[in-house]
C-alpha cells in the first residue's frame, strides 16, 4: 500500500536523483528537519542511474573544491552508517598532457591543488605508464596525478543516501509528480502534486534536467539545457588492473574508468547535441537515446590511439543519456531571487556524482539558515540575470561551454556565442575606436583598445598575451593624464521611500550619509560577518538612494538587499541598470577636463560627493569616487545621453581605456574585488576594510554581532599585497603563498602593475595562532607560480597612492 502524503512538511525536496537524496539526507541528519522527498518515477531514474561514476575533486574555487572533497569523505563512510555500499574506490586520477600549454595548465592546477591542501603530483610519461601500463605515452609531455580522486557507483550512492535520509526521519515518495505551486505573498505555500497538495515552509528543486520546467511552474528562471552525453562500456580488457586510476585525456577529449575488468570511456565533443528545447517528458524514466555511433566515432578513434589494447576489445554497451548543462559549466545552487522560500540544486554539468554529496550538505544548510554556509558564488543561482530566461540564448552558450569542457583553459578567455547581448549606446563607436570587447552578465565591455594598425582580437596564450603593452599604454595615460571608461554595465539600483535610510543603515556595514549629496563605499555582511556585497550608496535625497555595484553582481546584490529590508519599512528597491549609463573619467587631469564640459564649479565636488549637474549638455549625477586610485568622476546619466557626454569629454583629450587597465590600476591601489579578494568567507577586518565599518556607533546592522565577537580575538588571516622580484612572472590568483618556506595561504587575485613595473598579487596570509602587521612584515615570502618558487615582497599599504605619489615595490 502506498503511503499517504502528509498535509504539511517543513521542507519539500523535489527529485530523487543523487542531489535530491543527498539534500534530503542532510536536511534530516544535520538539521533534524521535517522533510519529504517527491520523485515522479523511481529514485535514480533520471540522469543518475546511467552516470559513469568518475569522481574528481579539484575546481578553481576553494569552496567548491571543499564541497567535492566532502562528497568523497561521505562516500567513504556512508556504508558504515546505512549498510548500503556506495562503490567508492580511491583509484586516483591521471590527467594527460600532450602539449606545453596543457602542461602549463597542469603546473598551475597542481599549485592550485597545493593551495587548497591537496597533493597533486606531476609525472613524467614513464611514471604515467607505470600507473596505467596500457596507455600509449609516446605523445605525452607528462601527466598530473591526484591520488585521492576516484570512482563510485551512482545508483548505489543514491540508494544509500535515500536509506540514510529515511533513517534520520525523512519520508521519500516515489511515483508522485509535482504539477505546480500555490504561491502566496511571494512564497510557496503549497506544492501541488499528482496526489494532492502538500503545504510547506520551503521547497528545494532538485529536478535535474526537469528543474527548468519545475522552476517555470513557480515563475523561477533556471538556465539549464539537457544535452546528450555518450560513453561505452567494453568487454574485459586484457592486462587492465582493477585498481587502475581514472584517466582524463583532454587533448583527445576523452575519459576512461575501469569497471569490472573492462573500461568505461566517453568524451566531450566540440559539436555536442542538444536534446530538446521543449519540456522534458515526465515519463522519461530509466530511458536512454539510441546509440549514435557516428557522433561517438571521434572518441572511439582517439581512445584507440591512447589505449591500443581496445582494438582487440569488444564493446558491451553504449550509454547515450541526457544531462543538464549550464551556460558557464558550473552547477546551480541557492535561493531563487524570485521567491522567498524556493531553493535549487540542479544543472550539474556531468559532475553531479562528484558534487552530489557535498552539494546536498551545503544546500541543506542554506535552506535551513537562509544563508549560504560558505562562499558559493561560482554556483549561486544569482550569478544569472533576466536575459537567461531566453532558451535559445541559454542553449547556444551552454553548447559552447560543453564544447570547451576539455579545451585548454587560457587565462582571460571569453565566450564567443550569444554576443552581443546588451550594448551601451557607445558600442559601435568604441568598436571603431579599436575596442576589443569582453562580455559580463550579457554586457559587452571594452577590455582594451587596439591602436591603429593593430587587430583588436585577443590571442590567448599561457604567458603574456598580445594586449599586454596596449593595456600598459592605457594604464599610463590614466596615471599621467586621464582616461574614459564606459562602465555603463554597472548594476544600479534605486532605493526609495520614507524608511530607505533606516533600511540601509541596517543592511550596510558602513554609516550611511546623513546629508544629501554624499556617498559611501560599504560592504554588506552575512550573519558570520562575511562580505556578501561590496558597493557604493549615494544619498540623492532623504528618501532616495542610488546604489552602484559590479556588473556581474546585479541579481545577487539586488536580491540580497531586497531580502534584508526589514519587514514593515517603507523602502522600495528598483533595478535601474538599463536606465542609466556610466562614464568614468579618471586621472590627474580629470578635474580640468570636467570643468571644460560642465557649467558647475567642479572644484566644489569633493571626494565622496554626488552632485546632479549638467555635463556635456545633459543632466547627470556625478559621483566623486574612484576604483583606480586617481582623482576621478563617475558620470551617471540616462543611457541615450551618453554619446553626447562622451563626445564632449573626448574633445578635451582623454584616452579610451578598458577593463584590463582598470584591473591593473586597482591592483596597484590595493582595492579589493568582490568574489575574488573579498567573499562571504572573509570579514572586513581580515580584508583590511575595518575602516569602512560603523562598529564604534551603536547602530545595529547585519553581521555586527559576529564582527564584535571577532574584533575581540586575534585575527587568523589578513589580506596582504605581494610583488615578485622577477618581472616576467604571470600571476593569475590561487598561487601558493609561502612564509619562511611554509604554506601560509594563496593569492586571491593577481595581475601586473604597469606603474610599479611588477607583477602584483593579493591573498590572505593565515596563522592559526593569530596574525598582526608585525607578524606579516617579519616573514620572508615566496609565491609558488606554476610549481616554481618565486621570491616575493609583502606590502600592507597600497603600492601606488596618487595623493602621496608614493610608489613602493
In the complex, which residues of this chain contact ligand FAD (CB under 6 A)? 14-20, 38-41, 45-48, 50-54, 177-178, 206-210, 214, 229, 231, 319, 321, 323, 346, 348, 350-354
The residue among 202, 211, 193 whose CA lies nearest residue 35 is: 202
Instruction: Name the minimum Å distance from CB 206 to ligand FAD.
Output: 5
Spatial CB neighbours of 21, under 8 Å, sequence gap ≥ 6: 37, 43, 158, 161, 162, 165, 172, 360
Question: ω into residue 420 within 30 of 0, thus cis?
Answer: yes
Q: How many Cβ atoms sit within 10 Å of the Cβ of residue 630?
A: 22
Handedness of CA 158, 12, 388, 284 (dihedral sign): positive
Instruction: Name the minimum Å distance from CB 73 to ligand FAD.
Output: 16
Residue 657 phi, psi (nearest 5): -140, 155
CB nearer to ligand FAD: give 29 or 212. 212
CB nearer to ligand FAD: give 282 or 502. 282
What letter would DSSP give residue 89?
B
**Inter-residue contact 42 to 286 (CB < 8 Å):** yes
* Angle, alpha carbons 553-558-559 (nearest 5°): 110
Instruction: Name the minimum Å distance from CB 222 to ligand FAD.
Output: 12
Residue 511 is placed in which grid cell?
A: 554609516
Instruction: Name the minimum Å distance from CB 179 to ligand FAD.
Output: 7
Instruction: Name the minimum Å distance from CB 201 to ligand FAD.
Output: 19
What letter would DSSP give residue 688?
T
Instruction: Name the minimum Å distance from CB 37 to ligand FAD.
Output: 9
Instruction: Name the minimum Å distance from CB 6 to ligand FAD.
Output: 16
Maximum separation of any 2 CA atoms in the chain, in Å: 84
Instruction: Name the minimum Å distance from CB 44 to ligand FAD.
Output: 6
Instruction: Name the minimum Å distance from CB 259 to ligand FAD.
Output: 11
Instruction: Name the minimum Å distance from CB 373 to ligand FAD.
Output: 20
CB nearer to ligand FAD: give 18 or 535. 18
Element of type H or E holding 333: strand 332-335
CB nearer to ligand FAD: give 319 or 657. 319
Instruction: Name the minimum Å distance from CB 214 to ligand FAD.
Output: 5
CB nearer to ligand FAD: give 45 or 439. 45
CB nearer to ligand FAD: give 52 or 110. 52
Q: Give the C-alpha separation, 444 to 476, whole Å.
A: 24
Residue 521 phi, psi (nearest 5): -95, 130
Instruction: Name the minimum Å distance from CB 62 to ligand FAD.
Output: 20
CB nearer to ligand FAD: give 173 or 764. 173
CB nearer to ligand FAD: give 227 or 744. 227
DSSP character string of 696-762: TS----TTHHHHHHHHTS-EEEEEEEEEESSTT----S-PEEEETTEEEEEEEEEEEETTTTEEEEE
CB nearer to ligand FAD: give 249 or 609. 249
Q: Are strands 142-146 and 254-259 parallel, antiparallel or unpaired?
A: unpaired
Q: Give the C-alpha separation, 245 to 491, whole Å.
A: 46
| Residue carrying the nine cell digits 586575534 | 714
Residue 580 is placed in which grid cell?
A: 542609466
CB nearer to ligand FAD: give 391 or 797. 391
CB nearer to ligand FAD: give 14 or 571. 14
Instruction: Name the minimum Å distance from CB 444 to ligand FAD.
Output: 32
CB nearer to ligand FAD: give 345 or 670. 345
Q: How many Cβ atoms sit within 10 Å of the Cβ of residue 684?
A: 26
Q: Give the C-alpha separation, 200 to 189, whole Å.
A: 6
CB nearer to ligand FAD: give 302 or 461. 302
Helix %, strand %, coil % of the chain (to 5): 30, 30, 40
Residue 584 phi, psi (nearest 5): -105, 120
Instruction: Name the minimum Å distance from CB 639 to ligand FAD.
Output: 40
- For 574-610, give one letter per residue: b (16+ CB within 10 A) or e: ebebeebbbbbbbbebbbebbeebbeeebeebeebbb
Spatial CB neighbours of 543, under 8 Å, sequence gap ≥ 6: 496, 497, 498, 500, 501
**Inter-residue contact 777 to 741 (CB < 8 Å):** no
Q: Are strands 655-656 and 483-486 parallel, antiparallel or unpaired?
A: parallel
Partners of 771 in beta bridges: 715
Q: How far is CA 779 from the centre of its chain?
A: 32
CB nearer to ligand FAD: give 45 or 582. 45
- For 741-764, give one letter per residue: b (16+ CB within 10 A) or e: eeebbbbbbbbbbbbbebbbbbbb
Amino acid at each position: 500500500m502506498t503511503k499517504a502524503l502528509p498535509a504539511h512538511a517543513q521542507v519539500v525536496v523535489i527529485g530523487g536523483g543523487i542531489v535530491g537524496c543527498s539534500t534530503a539526507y542532510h536536511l534530516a541528519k544535520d538539521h533534524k528537519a521535517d522533510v519529504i522527498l517527491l520523485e515522479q518515477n523511481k529514485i535514480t531514474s533520471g540522469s543518475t542511474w546511467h552516470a559513469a561514476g568518475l569522481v574528481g575533486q579539484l575546481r578553481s574555487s576553494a569552496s567548491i573544491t571543499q564541497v567535492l572533497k566532502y562528497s568523497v569523505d561521505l562516500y567513504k563512510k556512508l556504508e558504515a552508517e546505512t549498510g548500503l555500499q556506495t562503490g567508492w574506490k580511491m583509484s586516483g586520477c591521471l590527467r594527460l598532457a600532450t602539449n606545453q600549454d596543457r602542461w602549463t595548465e597542469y603546473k598551475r592546477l597542481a599549485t592550485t591543488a597545493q593551495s587548497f591542501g591537496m597533493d597533486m603530483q606531476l609525472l613524467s610519461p614513464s611514471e604515467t605508464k607505470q600507473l596505467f601500463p596500457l596507455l600509449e605515452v609516446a605523445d605525452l609531455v607528462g601527466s598530473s596525478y591526484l591520488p585521492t580522486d576516484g570512482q563510485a557507483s551512482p545508483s548505489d550512492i543514491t540508494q544509500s543516501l535515500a536509506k540514510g535520509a529515511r533513517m534520520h526521519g525523512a519520508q521519500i515518495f516515489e511515483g508522485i509528480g509535482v504539477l505546480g505551486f500555490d504561491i502566496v505573498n511571494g512564497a510557496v505555500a503549497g506544492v501541488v502534486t499528482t496526489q494532492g497538495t502538500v503545504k510547506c515552509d520551503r521547497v528545494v528543486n532538485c529536478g535535474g534536467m526537469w528543474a527548468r520546467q519545475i522552476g517555470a511552474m513557480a515563475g523561477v528562471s533556471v538556465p539549464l539545457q539537457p544535452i546528450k552525453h555518450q560513453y561505452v562500456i567494453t568487454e574485459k580488457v586484457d592486462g587492465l588492473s582493477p585498481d587502475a586510476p581514472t584517466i582524463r585525456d583532454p587533448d583527445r577529449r576523452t575519459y576512461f574508468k575501469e569497471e569490472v575488468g573492462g573500461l568505461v570511456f566517453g568524451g566531450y565533443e566540440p559539436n555536442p547535441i542538444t536534446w530538446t528545447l521543449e519540456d522534458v517528458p515526465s515519463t522519461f524514466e530509466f530511458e536512454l537515446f539510441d546509440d549514435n555511433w557516428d557522433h561517438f566515432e571521434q572518441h572511439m578513434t582517439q581512445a584507440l590511439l591512447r589505449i591500443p589494447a581496445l582494438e582487440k576489445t569488444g564493446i558491451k554497451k553504449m550509454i547515450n543519456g541526457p544531462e543538464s548543462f549550464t551556460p558557464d559549466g558550473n552547477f546551480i545552487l541557492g535561493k531563487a531571487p524570485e521567491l522567498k522560500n524556493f531553493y535549487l540544486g540542479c544543472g550539474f554539468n556531468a559532475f553531479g556524482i562528484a558534487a552530489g554529496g557535498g552539494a546536498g550538505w551545503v544546500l541543506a544548510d542554506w535552506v535551513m539558515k537562509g544563508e549560504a554556509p560558505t562562499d558559493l558564488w561560482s554556483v549561486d543561482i544569482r550569478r544569472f540575470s533576466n536575459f537567461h530566461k531566453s532558451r535559445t540564448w541559454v542553449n547556444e552558450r551552454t553548447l559552447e561551454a560543453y564544447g570547451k569542457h576539455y579545451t585548454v583553459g587560457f587565462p582571460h578567455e571569453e565566450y564567443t556565442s550569444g554576443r552581443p547581448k546588451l550594448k551601451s549606446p557607445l558600442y559601435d563607436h568604441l568598436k571603431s575606436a579599436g575596442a576589443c570587447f569582453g562580455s559580463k552578465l550579457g554586457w559587452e565591455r571594452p577590455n582594451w583598445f587596439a591602436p591603429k594598425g593593430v587587430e583588436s582580437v585577443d590571442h590567448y596564450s599561457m604567458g603574456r598575451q598580445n594586449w599586454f603593452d596596449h593595456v600598459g599604454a592605457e594604464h599610463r595615460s590614466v596615471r599621467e593624464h586621464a582616461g574614459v571608461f564606459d562602465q555603463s554595465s554597472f548594476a544600479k539600483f534605486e532605493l526609495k521611500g520614507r524608511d530607505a535610510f533606516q533600511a540601509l543603515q541596517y543592511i550596510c556595514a558602513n554609516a550611511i550619509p546623513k546629508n544629501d549629496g554624499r556617498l559611501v563605499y560599504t560592504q554588506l555582511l552575512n550573519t558570520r560577518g562575511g562580505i556578501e556585497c561590496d558597493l557604493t550608496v549615494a544619498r540623492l535625497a532623504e528618501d532616495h538612494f542610488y546604489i552602484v555595484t559590479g556588473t556581474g553582481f546585479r541579481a545577487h546584490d539586488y536580491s540580497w538587499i531586497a531580502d534584508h529590508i526589514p519587514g514593515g519599512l517603507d523602502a522600495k528597491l528598483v533595478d535601474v541598470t538599463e536606465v542609466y549609463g556610466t562614464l568614468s573619467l579618471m586621472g590627474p587631469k580629470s578635474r580640468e577636463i570636467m570643468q571644460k564640459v560642465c557649467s558647475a564649479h567642479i572644484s566644489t565636488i569633493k571626494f565622496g560627493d554626488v552632485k546632479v549637474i549638467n555635463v556635456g549638455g545633459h543632466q547627470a549625477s556625478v559621483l566623486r569616487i574612484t576604483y583606480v586610485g586617481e582623482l576621478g568622476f563617475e558620470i551617471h546619466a540616462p543611457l541615450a545621453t551618453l554619446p553626447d557626454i562622451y563626445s564632449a569629454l573626448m574633445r578635451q583629450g582623454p584616452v579610451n581605456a578598458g577593463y584590463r587597465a582598470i584591473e591593473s590600476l586597482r591592483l596597484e591601489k590595493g582595492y579589493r574585488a568582490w568574489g575574488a579578494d573579498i567573499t562571504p568567507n572573509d570579514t572586513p577586518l581580515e580584508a583590511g576594510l575595518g575602516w569602512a565599518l560603523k562598529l564604534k556607533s551603536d547602530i545595529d546592522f547585519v553581521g555586527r554581532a559576529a564582527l564584535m565577537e571577532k574584533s575581540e580575538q586575534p585575527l587568523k588571516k589578513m589580506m596582504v599585497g605581494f610583488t615578485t622580484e622577477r618581472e616576467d612572472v604571470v600571476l593569475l590568483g590561487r598561487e601558493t603563498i609561502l612564509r619562511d618556506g611554509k604554506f601560509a595561504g594563496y593569492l586571491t587575485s593577481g595581475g601586473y602593475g604597469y606603474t610599479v613595473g611588477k607583477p602584483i598579487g593579493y591573498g590572505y596570509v593565515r596563522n592559526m595562532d593569530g596574525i598582526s602587521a608585525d607578524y606579516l612584515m617579519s616573514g620572508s615570502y615566496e609565491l609558488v607560480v606554476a610549481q616554481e618558487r618565486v621570491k616575493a615582497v609583502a606590502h600592507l599599504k597600497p603600492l601606488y597612492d596618487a595623493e602621496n605619489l608614493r610608489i613602493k615595490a
